[in-house]
């Protein structure tokens, strides 16, 4: 398997616990895990790119992506695999150079098609069965970070990503 260059993730159920919270004015709020945020930064420090492919559209996702310098953001996506193929073409990558993390049936075709398909611990059973890896952490509780740590360590890029952070 070629080295993974691009990490793509769903949002609801992966970067969040899948819950939807609305304030009294009807504005949506989401809770993101700081460990996943550091995972994004570690992946970027190691030279990898990160992107978001999600079925829903939310200003909160735009804000979080901006905070983490994630420039590949596709929201309101009905056919995730089609968008992932488009992203691969735009980035000059083969699908087997992409990792994708999902949690439910809309992610299934993408998890099956990429080089490293992952499901969060509390994902739908069919997705977990199709995934190359199922996290120990549930969505919104460090699952993305778990994937990043695994990929960086297995590819020998862990020290490059973490060198100045510990020691």
Query: Which residue ranges make up the annotated binding site?
Result: 10, 12, 103
**Burial profile 16-48: b = 16 or more Cβ within 10 angstroms, e = fewer:** bbbeeeeeeeeeeebebbebbbbbbbbbbbbeb
Return the residue matching tokens 């990043």: 148
CA distances from 54 to 58, 70, 110, 140 (A): 10, 14, 12, 15
Indicate the annotated binding residues for Mg(2+): 10, 103
Indicate the annotated binding residues for substrate: 12
């Amino acid at each position: 398997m070629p080295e993974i260059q691009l990490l793509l993730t769903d949002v609801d159920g992966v970067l969040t616990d899948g819950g939807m919270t609305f304030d009294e004015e009807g504005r949506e709020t989401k809770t993101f895990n700081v460990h996943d945020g550091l995972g994004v930064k570690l992946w970027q420090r190691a030279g990898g790119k990160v992107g978001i492919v999600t079925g829903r559209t939310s200003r909160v996702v735009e804000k979080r992506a901006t905070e983490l310098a994630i420039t590949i953001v596709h929201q309101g996506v009905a056919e995730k695999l089609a968008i992932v193929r488009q992203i691969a073409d735009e980035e000059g990558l083969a699908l087997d150079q992409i990792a994708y993390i999902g949690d439910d049936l809309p992610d299934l075709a993408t998890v099956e098609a990429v080089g490293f398909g992952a499901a969060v611990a509390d994902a739908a059973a069919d997705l977990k069965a199709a995934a190359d890896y199922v996290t120990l952490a549930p969505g919104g509780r460090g699952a993305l970070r778990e994937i990043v740590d695994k990929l960086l360590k297995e590819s020998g890029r862990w020290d490059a990503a973490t060198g100045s952070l510990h020691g």
